[in-house]
Chains A and B, each alone.
Chain A
Amino acid sequence: MSLKGDCINILEHVLVPKFRVLSDEEKARLLEKLKTTKEKLPKILQVDPIVTNIEAKKGDILEIKRKSEVAGEYVYYRLVV
């Protein structure tokens, strides 16, 4: 791949929603709210271009702000595995 290809910011693409890594405190609060365990959340792979881009680590939970036709915007969570 050329130099420019490496430099493009994939986070700006229209198909890519906004990502944020949750802090430990937020993580605990989220799991409490959803009454679930980390392992039961949907996954995102460690090698995923987004994960490497925002430098998330294994075990992190990503908060994803998705745009939706019906709800406007809503949050979704994925566990980095």
Chain B
Amino acid sequence: MMTDLPLKIREEIDEYCKKKGIESEKKHEIVEKVKHFYRMSMYDPEEAVGVVSAQSLSEPATQMTMRTYHFAGTAGIQVTLGLPRLAEIFDAKKEPETPSMTIYLDPEHGSETKAIEIAKKIKEVKLKDFVLSNVIDLINLTITCHMDVEKLKKFDVDMKDLPKHVKLKNIDVEAKGKELIIMPKKADNVNLHKLKYKLLETHIKGVKNISHVIVSKEEGDEWVISTLGSNLHKVLAIEGVDTTRTTCNNPFEIYDVFGVEAARNSIIKEAVGTIEEQGLGVDIRYVSMLADLMTSGGKIMGIGRYGIAGNKDSVLARMAFEETKKHIISAAIEGMRDPLKGHVENIIMNQVIPMGTGAFTLVGRMPEVKVEQPEDEAEETKAEKKEEKAEKPVKKKAEKEEKPAKAKEKKKAAAKKKK
């Protein structure tokens, strides 16, 4: 059956057969042959894929330490690149150092003018963007800000509306001509300098956290907005934004909006993108396995003490990784048991690890205790038993796609990698 093969291979066979005009009988033969090779190229059950994956990822990572490119002086947005970025992704940092977004637009809003219009709407403007100078009057206890009226007009902000935006407690705000005067309600014990900084950070317009926007033309004559700072929730709500393609570079934000599966894809995309940007290559399978492991619990878990390695089931495995005392003490207090099912534990105990041939056990039927039976019947059953016994000791092979087994491998790989 063709369905045993992955879609891509199936499509390739179909295409080839169509081109060569190969008919059903011959095609069937080809499929069988391909299936044979496909099976041959698969990993064996209980193969330590995690270790292979960890090594394949670590090698380019060590290269990266030495030759991360620095784009000093280039125009555009400076983003974290190379190894620091890779560590950020796999350690599952909640906030990346340089959050950014790529915003695609609806076809109706595809023109340059519309794109700039939307970009303007998205960019966050704070009060300090409009302030020319500010004066602290220590005698009257007021802060006076001289506003850039032309700039206000450019951003469609009315001078009279400004006091409404300032939401700090216990102060009065007044707009007088070109000046904005701020007076604390309680005259005593106010730190005007502190207040001034708070005041200047007041959000006036746009989407919070988005400090820079750049409108650029991408492939296919499309105008795309890239930003520094991200706020997926709010940006997706803006009219004209293409909600099917707009993304950000923070898997956690994607997780909040689109769920684990999308977060997994985002992790893969970011990791592969970072590696490829440096001119290095890693097979996507290694990265996707790592991403699968990071999201197997339903949420994003980093690789390390507070992630996968620190949440292993086995006490001994956790102890072997980091913070030995913490784990052994809590295990002693709670009276934990370790079934010794993983790899690390079994290495500690000097036993065969459940990997490769060590993962399988032989199952045989023990000769049954003889029950009193008429002689000829007993003879018969005995013969039957013998036959069965010859057949029974089969290797109990774990199914290839058995995911838990894989998950364990991955866990181990993660631990190995950290070490």
Contacts and interface: CB of A to CB of B under 8 A. Distances in A.
B403 A45 contact: no
Contacts of A51: 259
B16 interface: no
A16 B236 contact: no
Nearest to A49: B259
B108 interface: no
Given A34-B402, A68-B288, A71-B6, A44 B298 contact: yes
A4 B237 contact: yes
Interface stretch (B48-56, B64-72, B238-246, B357-365): B238-246
Given A4-B237, A14-B245, A36-B402, A74 B6 contact: yes
Nearest to B245: A14
A50 interface: yes
Interface string A34-54: 111000111111001111000
Main secondary structure of the interface of B (DSSP, over half): helix
A48 B403 contact: no
B369 interface: no
A26 interface: no
Contacts of B288: 68
A81 B298 CA distance: 8
Interface string B249-262: 00000101111111
Interface string B285-300: 1001000100111110
A51 B254 CA distance: 15
B117 to A, nearest CB: 17
Among B8, B247, B298, B407, find the residue whose CB has the most chain A CB atoms closer than 10 A: B298
Contact of B259 (A36, A48, A68): A48
A4 B233 CA distance: 10
23 contacts: A1-B233, A5-B233, A8-B236, A14-B247, A34-B399, A35-B398, A36-B399, A42-B296, A43-B297, A44-B259, A44-B260, A44-B298, A45-B299, A48-B260, A49-B258, A50-B260, A70-B8, A71-B6, A72-B7, A72-B11, A74-B7, A77-B403, A78-B298
Interface of B: 6-11, 233-234, 236-239, 243-245, 247, 254, 256-262, 265-266, 269, 284-285, 288, 292, 295-299, 398-399, 401-404, 407
Given A1-B234, A4-B239, 14 more contacts: A4-B237, A5-B233, A5-B236, A13-B245, A15-B258, A35-B398, A36-B402, A41-B403, A44-B298, A49-B257, A69-B284, A70-B8, A72-B7, A72-B8
